[in-house]
Amino acid sequence: MATEEQESVTTRRLRFSFEFFPPKSEDMADQLWKTVEALSLWTPDFVSVTYGAGGTTREPTLSTVKRLISETALPTASHLTCVGATKDEVRQVVEQFRSVGVKHFVALRGDPQGGMGSAYQPYPGGYSNAAELVAGLREMGGFEISVSAYPEKHPESPDVAADIDMLKRKVDNGACRALTQFFFDNDVFERYLERVRAAGISVPIVPGIMPIQNLTQLKRFASMCGATIPGFLDDRFAGLDDQPKARAEVAAAVAAEQIEDLARRGISDFHLYTMNRSALVTATLGNLGLRPRALADDGAGAAA
């Protein structure tokens, strides 16, 4: 039974979106589609599929997106990057995705071709950044466009002000929402949101929530993308290396607590990084006192 605090969260009518990545093997494909089946019960606002910089996962992404659109009722967005491609090549990719039913792109510059940490160089004849890519998508017409945002700033931005200026350029060029990099300190997000609003950016800034599958791996990834892992997470996971069940319970509790606190601060939309696994996402939403809308007797307290 949900607690009184949980009831206050569920009545806020929270909305969720889920992120997947294209599988690299048959076993990973089986895992993905089991995850899609399980999470579709939550009837998310949309799901998104990542796209490797320079089109390194173009075909797997296209195949995954096509199957999601043709075999499920899930509103499906494809990520799109502009690294290592001319404007004409990007347009060809966009039209290919449009032909299978894509109407929503998550427009990203993408990591440098040399990998994270290497210097970024605009591709000759291509889009220089995500703001230009958004403008190009708007000119092509007919697309919903989401972009990225960084509560702790993008690692390549000189400062937060420059980072927010880039976000404003993306929004001014046609983006209707921003999905954030994962973070774990809600005070950091709230301060960032205040600065974003002060800059005249009014689109939804959707927190990216990362249920922690593996804290050690997450720390390595966070060090490359400029995200901070607070010390309290070490405390919460201490002594659980050989206890997978207890570790999963803590991970779901941490993610649910973060969402619950953000909901109390007025946030109603959340983007969950699933890592192509459903168990932690389902446990997180369950900890909030939510039920899959597809299984609920009525709409009260259902996740959207």
Catalytic annotation, residues: 19
- The number of beta carbons lying within 10 Å of the beta carbon of residue 210 is 24
Query: Using N-to-C axis directions, what is the helix angle for 130-140 and 160-172, rounded to 10°?
Result: 10
Smallest Cα–Cα separation from 53: which of 25, 21, 28, 85?
Answer: 85
Burial 256-282 (b: 16+ CB within 10 A, else e): bebbbebbeeebebbbbbbbbbbebbb
Count how many residues are written for the chain.
304
**Dist. CA 40–CA 295, nearest whole Å:** 11
For residue 110, the Cα-to-chain-centroid distance in whole angstroms is 14
For residue 49, give the nearest of 41, 222, 72 by alpha carbon. 72
Tabulate helix, strand, coil % of the chain (nearest 5).
45, 15, 40
Residue 300, C-beta contacts closer than 8 angstroms, at least 6 positions apart: 10, 11
Q: Which residue is listed with tokens 């192509």?
A: 276
Q: Do 287 and 256 touch, CB atoms closer than 8 A?
A: yes
The Cα–Cα gap between 82 and 130 comes to 8
